Amino acid sequence: MYSFCGRENSRFAVGHFPPLGFFMSRSELVSSLREVAPTILPSLLMCDFGNLASEIETLEEAGVAALHLDVMDGVYVPNFTYGMTIVAAIRKLTELPLDVHLMMVSPEKYIPQFVEAGADLITFHVETVDDPAAVVKQIHDLGVAAGVAINLETPVSAIASVLPEADMALVMSINAGFGGQAFQQSALDKLDEIRSLPGGEDILLQIDGGINESTIKAATDHGTQLLVVGSAIFKKDDYAKAIENMMAEVTTS
**pLDDT tens, position by position, 214-246:** 999 999 999 999 999 998 999 999 999 999 999
Does this model's pTM top 0.85? yes
Catalytic positions: 70, 208
- Residues 214-232 as b or e (16 or more Cβ within 10 Å = b): ebbbbbbebbbbbbbbbbb
- Report which of residues 5 and 71 the model is more confident about: 71
Task: Give the whole-angstrom CA distance, residue 148 versus residue 135.
Answer: 9
Q: Say yes or no to pLDDT of 59 above 80.
A: yes
**C-alpha closest to that of 17 among 110, 94, 107:** 94
Task: Give the whole-angstrom CA distance, residue 38 versus residue 8.
Answer: 29
Report pLDDT for 157.
97
Report pLDDT for 253.
59
Report pLDDT for 23.
59
Give 9's pLDDT tier (boundaries 50, 70, 90): very low
Mean pLDDT, rounded, of the chain: 87
| Domains of the chain and any CATH numbers | 22-250 (3.20.20.70)
Segment 48-54 shows an average pLDDT of: 91
What are the start-end ranges of the E strands in the chain?
2-4, 7-9, 39-42, 67-72, 98-103, 121-125, 145-150, 168-172, 204-208, 226-229
Give 15's pLDDT tier (boundaries 50, 70, 90): very low
Lowest mean pLDDT among 41-50, 68-77, 219-228, 241-250: 68-77
Task: Give the whole-angstrom CA distance, residue 4 versus residue 217.
Answer: 33
